[in-house]
């Protein structure tokens, strides 16, 4: 495989790039607006010139372009923020974040790389932005700006689950090849799905740590410490998430694949017993027999979208069937369902909430690897 020199825009912490070095892709330059994400990225990818700053600022954008041209960049990966379009977000019309694609297009037009990968949520296909004095769909805008110089892939919707990633995660990805290049870049052949049971089913079980304190945790879960030690023997990232007892109790009575809002007794409720209003995918356990649901940035909260461990049934002291692992996925389990390398060097200073957020906003690493391989085998 040949080597590509790349630029990563809206780089987050470099989740998409996790396998690039193995493929012979050298990300020479990267840009990220958030200081902590830029620092995280730089600690993992020490040889990359990380330009921390706002791409909408002309001087920052000029620096990105200048450094990329200096480094002979021939590949750009751009993953603009999706929160303005995501199904999990508010989806406000003309959210300013949706306009960020225009700055990526400006950089692409000035650098003129051979190859471009543009990624976002499927909703991008039906999202409109301001383009001059017109209102146009984002795909129309992209193709009107780059269509003269680049060929686009025919199919642009892809599911991570089809490429060895144990997670559904549908994405809209445009693959661009400059018209003077003799290559056709399309998604590779689909691979067999990996279920959550196959991915994490053999990991040691983990009881949650209760916000009410260690004494309460040990009272509710006498084997908590024993399980914690066994889990940490697998990885330092396979440690107990922290939750309140009331939410844990609701989930202990919730079967795999079901939401606690449908429980007859142990359902999400306020102090006075009033049911909590929730979406049918809130307080929901994942299913063992299918890939993980899409991981979101709020994956550490039980009440978020389908992020609770599937659990396994067992009988309590009263003979009632309840379910184990009444908690969200551990960070180690997130690494697996995001197809990140299990030895990915997460900086020690990064806090759990931050790690969970950046993982939830990333592109599954193996999905990007397989898409890039489809190009690299031709070069």
The dihedral built from the CA positions of residue 109, 72, 176 and 31, taken in this order, carries a sign that is: negative
The H or E element that residue 252 is part of is helix 245-252
Cα 145 from Cα 250, distance rounded (Å): 51
Taking alpha carbons only, the member of 98, 77, 1, 81 closest to residue 34 is: 81
Taking alpha carbons only, the member of 285, 279, 247 closest to residue 266 is: 247
Measure Cα distances from 59 to 33, 65, 94, 111 in Å: 13, 10, 25, 15
The alpha carbon of 36 is separated from its chain's Cα centroid by a whole number of angstroms, namely 17
Map tokens 């021939």 to a residue.
Answer: 74
Contact 359, 338 (CB under 8 A): yes
- For Cα atoms 369, 171, 301, give the angle at the middle one, nearest 5 degrees: 100
Active site residue 292: no
Taking alpha carbons only, the member of 89, 69, 77, 105 closest to residue 10 is: 77
Contact 158, 171 (CB under 8 A): yes
Measure Cα distances from 133 to 16, 142, 190, 307 in Å: 35, 16, 41, 42
Residues in the chain: 379
- Residue 321's Cβ-count burial label (10 Å; 0-12, 13-18, 19+) is exposed
Q: Which two tokens stand for residue 289?
A: 């027999």
Dihedral angle of Cα 304, 306, 311, 314, to the nearest 10 degrees: 80
| Strand positions, DSSP E, the chain | 4-9, 25-32, 49-52, 75-78, 115-120, 128-131, 134-137, 150-152, 157-159, 170-178, 209-210, 242-243, 313-315, 321-323
Which of 52, 82, 292, 307 is catalytic? The answer is 82
Contact 74, 54 (CB under 8 A): no
Q: Which residues are catalytic?
A: 82
């Amino acid at each position: 495989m040949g080597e590509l020199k790349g630029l990563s825009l809206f780089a987050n912490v470099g989740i998409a790039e996790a396998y690039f070095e193995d493929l012979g892709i050298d990300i020479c330059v990267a840009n990220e607006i958030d200081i902590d994400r830029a620092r995280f990225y730089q600690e993992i990818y020490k040889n990359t010139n990380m330009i921390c700053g706002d791409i909408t600022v002309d001087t920052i954008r000029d620096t990105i372009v200048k450094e990329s041209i200096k480094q002979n960049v021939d590949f750009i990966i751009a993953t603009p923020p999706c929160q303005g379009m995501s199904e999990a977000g508010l989806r406000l019309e003309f959210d300013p974040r949706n306009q960020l694609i225009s700055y990526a297009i400006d950089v692409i037009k000035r650098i003129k790389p051979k190859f471009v990968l543009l990624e976002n949520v499927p909703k991008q296909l039906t999202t409109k932005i301001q383009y001059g004095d017109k209102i146009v769909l984002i795909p129309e805008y992209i193709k009107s700006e780059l269509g003269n110089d680049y060929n686009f892939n025919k199919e642009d919707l892809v599911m991570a689950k089809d490429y060895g990633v144990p997670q559904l995660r549908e994405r809209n990805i445009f693959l661009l090849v400059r018209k003077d290049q003799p290559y056709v870049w399309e998604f590779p052949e689909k691979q067999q799905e990996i279920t959550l049971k196959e991915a994490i089913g053999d990991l040691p079980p983990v009881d949650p740590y209760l916000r009410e304190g260690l004494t309460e945790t040990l009272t509710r879960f006498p084997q908590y410490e024993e399980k914690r030690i066994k889990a940490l023997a697998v990885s330092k990232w396979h440690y107990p998430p922290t939750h309140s007892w009331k939410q844990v109790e609701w989930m202990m009575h919730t079967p795999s694949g079901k939401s606690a809002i449908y429980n007859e007794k142990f359902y999400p409720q306020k102090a006075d017993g009033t049911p909590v209003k929730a979406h049918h995918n809130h307080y929901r356990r994942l299913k063992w027999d299918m890939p993980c649901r899409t991981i979101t940035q709020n994956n550490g909260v039980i009440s978020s979208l389908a992020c609770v461990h599937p659990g396994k049934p067992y009988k309590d002291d009263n003979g009632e069937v309840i379910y184990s692992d009444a908690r969200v996925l551990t960070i180690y389990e997130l690494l697996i369902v995001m197809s990140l390398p299990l030895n990915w060097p997460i900086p020690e200073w990064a806090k759990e909430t931050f790690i969970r957020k950046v993982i939830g906003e990333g592109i599954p690493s193996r999905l990007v690897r397989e898409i890039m391989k489809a190009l690299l085998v031709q070069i």
